[in-house]
Amino acid sequence: MARAGKPWRWICDDDGKSSVFHLLDGQRRERATIWQNSATRFTWHTWNDRGTGGENSESTTSDGAKDSAVAALVRQGWAPGGWKVLWS
């Protein structure tokens, strides 16, 4: 699984019906958002440090969406220097 390193972190808002995940950077800016559309559909979207949107897509799991969003941030050059995506 691709992971966001410290001080970046995922936080979750859960209203009991669906979940929304936010990837916050070290300055607490939102860099990725994942929201649950159904039991097996999670949409993700990335944001640069100024809040401009980047890549987006869907995954069948929240973990898959997190992996894809982090990989997109690395691909777009919006992740901290030296980040690499290592799939296990």
- Mean pLDDT, to the nearest integer, of 20-39? 92
33-49: b (≥16 Cβ within 10 Å) or e: bbbbeeeeebebbbbee
Residue of higher predicted confidence among 5 and 57:
57
Please answer whether residues 66 and 34 qualify as being in contact, where contact means their C-beta atoms are separated by less than 8 angstroms: yes
Query: What value does the mean pLDDT take over residues 4-10?
Result: 71
Q: How far is CA 61 from the centre of its chain?
A: 12
Residue 8 has pLDDT above 70, yes or no: yes
- Find all residues with CB under 8 Å of 53, minimum gap 6, and list them: 45, 46, 47
The predicted-structure confidence for 48-71, as pLDDT tens digits, reads as follows: 889 899 999 999 999 999 999 999
Distance in angstroms (rounded) separating the CA atoms of residues 7 and 55 = 22
pTM of the model: 0.82
pLDDT band at 35 (very low <50, low <70, confident <90, very high): very high
Give pLDDT tens digits for 11-23: 998 877 778 999 9
Does the pLDDT value for residue 33 go beyond 70?
yes
Helix (H, G, I), strand (E, B) or coil at 75: helix
Domain boundary assignment for the chain:
9-75
